[in-house]
Amino acid sequence: MTATLITGANKGLGFETARRLIAAGHTVYIGSRDAERGRRAAERLGARAVRLDVTDDASVAAAAKTIEADGGLDVLVNNAGIQEEMGDDNVVIGAADVTADVMRQTFETNVFGMVRVTHAFLPLLRSSAAPVVVNVSSGLASLTRATTPGDPAYAYPGLAYPASKTAVNMITVQYAKAFPNMRINAVEPGYTKTDLNGNSGVQTVEQGAEIIVRMAQVDPDGPTGGYFDADGTLPW
């Protein structure tokens, strides 16, 4: 049975991804910064809860030990993320107002957190017969789209969030080259209605989770080092 960890999975895209992978036969660990919320989400789904704060070394190390003791890990979905530059009124801070602190907070979760978790679970993944890593990126990460007038990514005024996700894409590529026996890809769920964007998205979590679920189940001879949405390959 495939053992899968999803970070930030007590709600939104992570929760829906967990639901779908459990239905597909995976044993799913709900990684959640809030232990009680994670426990409740796991109970609803028939998953296993593990407290995991991607910004905390000790928390990540403890989660890795727990999952190792349970038998190991086959699939890692790096889903936890924040959009610190978006305020409560859904107004995004533009380049003129972004600060180093906003950048730092964003990268701490979206980039350093992803690396922290991936690094901690690499020994377990390398012991798997068919290891898979899915890094949840964004269409805003595409430099091609961000420089194409008329594209939604071109119109997005924020700096911190897209920069963090562009970093995620590069990290994905470098990990994929370093571990050719793993399938490691970045995915763009689309503009999905979640707490991340103040529920301003235009599609459902069911629609958004589709590409995450698909790439979490990629075959050992499937793509690696790629950047995908539900319709196919995206331009870097």
- For the annotated catalytic residues, the residue numbers are 161, 165
- Cβ within 8 Å of residue 30, ≥6 positions away: 6, 9, 10, 14, 15, 18, 38, 41, 42, 45, 47, 48, 49, 50
Residue 93 DSSP class: P
Residue 156 to residue 158: CA distance in whole angstroms: 6
Percent helix, strand, coil in the chain, to 5, is: 45, 15, 40
Measured CA to CA, the distance from residue 63 to residue 60 in angstroms comes to 5
Nearest CA-CA partner of 167 in 152, 186, 153: 186
